[in-house]
A = this chain, B = another copy of it.
Amino acid sequence: MANGTLVLIPTPLSGQPLAFSHPPEVLSRIHKITDFAVEKLQQAVHFLVKTGHPVPEYKMGFHPLDKHVTGEQLQDILAVLQQGRDVGVLSEAGCPGIADPGARLVWLCHSRNIPVEALVGPSAITLSVMYSGLNGQQFAFNGYLPVDSHRREQTLKTFEGRSANDEQTQIFIEAPFRNRELLGAMLELLQPETRLCVCWNLMADDQWVVTREVQDWASASLPENFENKPAMFLFLATPRQKAVSGKKSARSKSTGRGSRTTGTKKGLHRKRYNPD
């Protein structure tokens, strides 16, 4: 019997109607699946109901897949796939496997020749890079900064140095109740010319995005309940002439390149990033 497919299903970032975030064929694909590996059961069921799934909840199979998932629980999911049934992966919000559980299971599927299918939907990281106006030719998602202020200071300096050297946009997330503290630390520690973007509650009605040089942030008025909503922090330092491993200068000497490569292409990253 052929294996089922592991289907990676993005979920909404906010309470907006799915028509803003989910292509119709994605919803059709979900409606063919009755086994799910979920980060949070209640939210997963709520999402499936919202899609208009034709199968009632009590006829579906649900398996836990959060960051504490055990090897045994992963084997249970693989067993469903090996019985020929598809399994949909639903994280709390956004894309499974990106700053969310899922990657371990995908790796196991690759190593067992179980097919994997990723569907199109919202990603807070992708949207934040688009919104930021910072360098999208090189960027790194780094998760959380340390909580301890001394270590956070060291780490911010390290990442700002890397951003300046490699012209790499640095992306961080934070627990909402620390949003204001982290913003304060960034405004204090980063260079005045570093460009800082804060995105707040992406895709919600009260979404908020501001990108300014650090020295101009003092004039930005924050939303009143800045401590209550999910935020992302992105920055890009003023570039240094020296690039990592001589990468850019080496590449800029190349000739005879194909003009078309993929959805992602060469571009600004071989020049100084100079948006004006």
* A143 shortest CB reach to chain B, Å: 5
Cβ of A46 under 8 Å from chain B: no
Among A132, A136, A174, A246, chain B packs the most CB atoms within 10 A around the CB of: A136
On chain B, the residues within 8 Å of A203 by CB distance are 120
Q: How many residues of A contact B (CB 8 A)?
A: 108
Binds B, one of A30-38, A55-63, A96-104, A185-193: A96-104
Residue in contact with A267 in the complex, picked from B101, B121, B134, CB distance below 8 Å: B101
The reply to whether B120 and A195 form a contact with Cβ atoms under 8 Å apart is: no
Q: Chain B: which residue is nearest A232 at the CB level?
A: B262
The reply to whether B100 and A136 form a contact with Cβ atoms under 8 Å apart is: yes
Cβ of A4 under 8 Å from chain B: no
| Integer count of this chain's copies in the complex | 2
Binary interface encoding of chain A residues 136-157 relative to chain B, with 1 for a CB under 8 A from any of its CBs, else 0 = 1111111111111001101100
**Can you name 13 A-B pairs with beta carbons within 8 Å?**
A23-B23, A67-B265, A97-B133, A102-B136, A108-B276, A110-B211, A111-B212, A118-B130, A139-B141, A140-B140, A154-B246, A158-B244, A176-B260
Residue in contact with A25 in the complex, picked from B17, B142, B260, CB distance below 8 Å: B17
* A127 shortest CB reach to chain B, Å: 5
On chain B, the residues within 8 Å of A20 by CB distance are 23, 25-26, 120
A269 to B263, alpha carbons, bound, how many Å?
28
On chain B, the residues within 8 Å of A176 by CB distance are 258, 260-262
Known contacts A100-B264, A110-B133; A24 and B21 CB within 8 A of each other: no
The reply to whether A19 and B25 form a contact with Cβ atoms under 8 Å apart is: yes
On chain B, the residues within 8 Å of A138 by CB distance are 140-143
On chain B, the residues within 8 Å of A175 by CB distance are 257-258, 261
A145 to B141, alpha carbons, bound, how many Å?
19
* A87 shortest CB reach to chain B, Å: 14
A264 to B201, alpha carbons, bound, how many Å?
12
The reply to whether A261 and B107 form a contact with Cβ atoms under 8 Å apart is: no
A261 to B130, alpha carbons, bound, how many Å?
20
Residue in contact with A210 in the complex, picked from B110, B152, B251, CB distance below 8 Å: B110
